[in-house]
Chains A and B, each alone.
Chain A
């Protein structure tokens, strides 16, 4: 495959950054959910 470095850089950056954002959101959500009563969680 030609230009494999450039292509992989794009895929790794994309998949890596969205995974990092998803993990950040989940961890932050868990931390906040532990500090609040259930009535402050409108999705329940």
Chain B
């Protein structure tokens, strides 16, 4: 990942040779690479919808409600990945040799995406639970610990929103991220640690794969589609946060320069 450019032309005088210099020519966060990922994401998400809703067969025991699995497992997979990326990026920020606000922005962007996907996991799980268990909510170990993790990461985002410099934000949120990520193994293994209603993994245990054929393929499509989507969202959101930070630092200078340029015209 690229380190942020730190050489900043924050003096309005430096723009005096070019009219309206503060306004760059590049007006988006897209690059050929992200556009390629974007197209691949759209194609794979459409494929997921077709396989998940049409081509994949109904389950012998669960019937058509098994179609929710392709969303439920895909979203929770991304939530786990997102929170792990948040923790790794936070560690990279705290480590002096790799300290850069780019890592902090990756951490923040990834956590935001993770929170959305965790909310979708809970929503899909709740509806699937109503069909399977007869209730939208049960105080099962997996369900409860997942909800607790969701709330924890909302707290993480709240900590990021507290005042102070970008460095202060990065440091305090990195500490919270490194503590919060400890919940992932607890949530994942809660099914084994405390027996409850929630079923065990369908694929992760290679000795006992319960999905086969088109159902397994649909789940595979789901994981690919959501992974591409996550990558696209992460890159774009990180770039937005980088510009937001730059604007926080130098926004007044740029605004003054623009007004001066307008006066010169």
Chain A residues packing against B (C-beta within 8 Å): 1-4, 6-7, 9-11, 13-15, 17-18, 21-22, 25-26, 28-30, 32-44
Contact = CB atoms under 8 A, between A and B. Distances in A.
A17 B116 contact: yes
30 contacts: A1-B58, A1-B64, A2-B63, A6-B68, A6-B130, A7-B53, A7-B64, A10-B68, A10-B72, A10-B124, A10-B127, A15-B45, A15-B49, A18-B229, A25-B29, A28-B240, A32-B244, A32-B247, A33-B24, A33-B26, A35-B247, A35-B254, A36-B243, A36-B246, A36-B247, A37-B21, A40-B24, A41-B243, A42-B4, A43-B2
Contact of A37 (B22, B45, B102): B22
B22 A14 contact: no
Nearest to B72: A10
Interface of A is mostly: helix
Contacts of B2: 42-43
Contacts of A13: 120, 123-124
A40 to B, nearest CB: 4
Contacts of B28: 26, 29-30, 33
Nearest to A21: B116
A6 B250 CA distance: 49
A39 to B, nearest CB: 6
Contacts of A39: 5, 7-9, 24
A7 B237 CA distance: 29
A6 B136 CA distance: 11
Nearest to A32: B243
B207 interface: no
Contact of A11 (B52, B130, B232, B244): B52
B67 A36 contact: no
A32 B29 CA distance: 9
Given A28-B240, A37-B24, A43 B68 contact: no
